[in-house]
Structure 1
């Protein structure tokens, strides 16, 4: 195997190991975020809520800054930096004693989280090309979902067995996980930057002037709002409108996480012969079906029929998420000029930050108006997004729309073949 190929394989393994360890630590913390901070710091719950909101608002600026840093240096360096920031923050949580300190520490966590997404997507783009990039995005999603689910189970066990001390233990383990993830990346070796990946000109003005890419960002914004169904819309809809048990929500979330973890790679294999834009559009069609299924659950009798209906609708939603994820990341990375890929991906990933701000208030307003209004709006968003990405198939770079399918490996020849003309 050529030396460059060996380095690439080792880099991928180190990256995926880091992703797994990182997600394992996050899985310990994310399901209990506000409660975790309240227990570790001893601050009132209302103070914690205000502090986390203020920190998240400040951290919105981290996304575009990270994009510029990726283009100036490289994605791996920025990714390591996000791990260091969060390791320091979680190590400092037990020493927080007031509101200003809370904002400072929570801001470090939020900045690291916001910068992580363009940095990790950019690092995958640097490690692999074409169909190999799709494969690596799928493997990354698998590793993170498996680790996140495992971390959630460990978190529940730590808190149940150790009480208040368990929260402090979660903080320490999470800090350590980021250190380990950073070491994995540092040991992997940075991919060499080519001439076309250096000397960026135009900055974010060039990104904003790229009309096909900005149209893709608009479509992705619609898709990400639909992706907020499970964490934001479903808890309120299921409990207040359908009268479902809150305990069912945990089961639905676990089902979704498990299926995304095991289904990402097989779904990617099914998609590799399709154009990425059309794979995205198919995902949008399935998301429309999920919105219709959730709306239809309200027509079912209360009790077991509604429970089964929610399970079925969540399965359809999960299928739509699986169809959307890998081609979305790969299309954005391939459509971006190499020298400005950090900025392009920062703009693309900002859609998730916007969705996290818009969804709670927007979904609540729609649910107060009527539950069908929520599902009709989300279904319409998915439909518009699907139509947009299909139209973009002719406007985005051809090699971004259709990734080359990897050729089957052939056995090495044992003797020299005769050359033409000899």
Structure 2
């Protein structure tokens, strides 16, 4: 497999990216579209399900089933979308997918039956998840290879800030609690996809992208789908997907655990989410600098798994404690998990790019993105049947799973590409 680039940029360029100054034109434009989109998503996320249950009048369980079905379509959509990006260009395909997501999301305002809900949410989710996979290929084309991981960390910080501001504004719509308020938020979210789609198409290519396209043109036809047959790369994708489940641990598992198994006040769930957003925004770029090569990325993934196991153990200890001590234990666990999260994100970005065949980045990023989507889908069910149902024993099972996944990354990457190690020890 071929690394995306071996070129090292001037030290000044790296320093500016690491110092949170988007000096690169592509990064500046990506910052604008990321901020715009994350603001819209943050507006919508707190009230999306409530719109379909409270305003449209659908059954909550049926809505949950529908969202799960839509998620399955989204997982599958990432791979063909990646192939389309290889064939017609990641920026062009990504722009169409983002614009399509905006249009599909607008149809939510026309939903008055379960069948219409199911059709709308399947189309919108499939397009949105496909666009996320293609976005990885876009970044492979437009961001300088040597600073790509730091740039993605910077964009993730922008995403967290945008989501936080959007969520605060979305709370206003929740308080108003009228159909007009919900519809306004949905339409604003539509614009957060449609408008950046225009910016995405105009992102300037990085110099290394020309070489990548030349290699792609030389690739034989049977190599275009290589990623779906690349067992070493798929093994790394699966291990990354296991560690990605920690996102749903924060979003689904902890709120349920706090309410059902601890004496901590319910607002603790919001406190932990704030702690997560703030620390990720502060740490992600700095951590990304230390995981921008394959050996350091593997070490980051190893530590991510081990720290996540520690966080699971601390969460388990919160059961049976007094409210004050339960809040303290949960907060400590959340802080430990943040370090796992930022290490995993940085390590995953590096491995997803460096272990991919540069002639078919679209399909490789589609496969890697599909793995992440699958992990996000499986996460809520896994957390529920382990920690929520079985308490300490369930947390122990999760901890072992995460630790093993983190430790298994090193042999999986050795299998995937010996050349990627560049002679450095793991």
Whether the TM-score (by the shorter chain) exceeds 0.5 is yes
CA–CA distance in 1 between the matches of 2:415 and 2:401?
Answer: 21
Cα 1:394/1:318, change in 2 over 3 Å: same
Match among 102, 106, 110 for residue 117 of structure 2: 102
Match among 316, 323, 331 for residue 295 of structure 1: 316
Partner SS for 1:136: helix
8 A contact 2:71–2:377 mirrored in 1 = no
Highest CA radius of gyration, 1 or 2? Answer: 1
Match among 68, 78, 89 for residue 53 of structure 1: 68
Gaps of 5+ in 1: 405-422
Gaps of 5+ in 2: 1-12, 14-22
**Structure 2 counterpart of 1:282:** 303
Match among 240, 249, 264 for residue 260 of structure 2: 240
**Structure 2 counterpart of 1:338:** 358
**Structure 2 counterpart of 1:34:** 49
Q: Deviations over 1:303-340 (max 9, x none)?
A: 10111110111010011101110121121112100122
Aligned length: 399
**Structure 1 counterpart of 2:233:** 213
CA–CA distance in 1 between the matches of 2:220 and 2:103?
Answer: 32
The answer to whether 1:197 aligns with 2:216 is yes
**Structure 2 counterpart of 1:63:** 78
**Structure 1 counterpart of 2:333:** 313
Partner SS for 2:46: helix
Q: Deviations over 1:122-144 (max 9, x none)?
A: 11111234431111111121111
The answer to whether 1:385 aligns with 2:405 is yes
CA–CA distance in 2 between the matches of 1:68 and 1:94?
Answer: 32
User: Displacement, 1:108?
Assistant: 2.2
CA–CA distance in 2 between the matches of 1:208 and 1:51?
Answer: 27
Cα 1:399/1:19, change in 2 over 3 Å: farther
Match among 379, 382, 387 for residue 362 of structure 1: 382
Q: Deviations over 1:79-122 (max 9, x none)?
A: 21221122112222222222222222212220122112211111
**Structure 2 counterpart of 1:114:** 129
Cα 1:292/1:35, change in 2 over 3 Å: same
CA–CA distance in 2 between the matches of 1:402 and 1:375?
Answer: 37
8 A contact 2:103–2:194 mirrored in 1 = no
Which has the larger displacement, 165-174 or 279-288?
279-288
User: Displacement, 1:216?
Assistant: 0.9
Partner SS for 1:246: coil
**Structure 2 counterpart of 1:177:** 192
**Structure 2 counterpart of 1:160:** 175
User: Displacement, 1:169?
Assistant: 0.9
- Alignment map for 1:65-104 (pairs within 5 Å): 65-104=80-119
CA–CA distance in 2 between the matches of 1:312 and 1:111?
Answer: 36
Query: TM-score if structure 2 supplies the norm length?
Result: 0.85
The answer to whether 1:329 aligns with 2:349 is yes
8 A contact 1:70–1:342 mirrored in 2 = yes
CA–CA distance in 2 between the matches of 1:396 and 1:261?
Answer: 31
Which has the larger displacement, 99-108 or 271-280?
271-280
Query: TM-score if structure 1 supplies the norm length?
Result: 0.86
CA–CA distance in 1 between the matches of 2:415 and 2:271?
Answer: 42
Which has the larger displacement, 69-78 or 309-318?
69-78
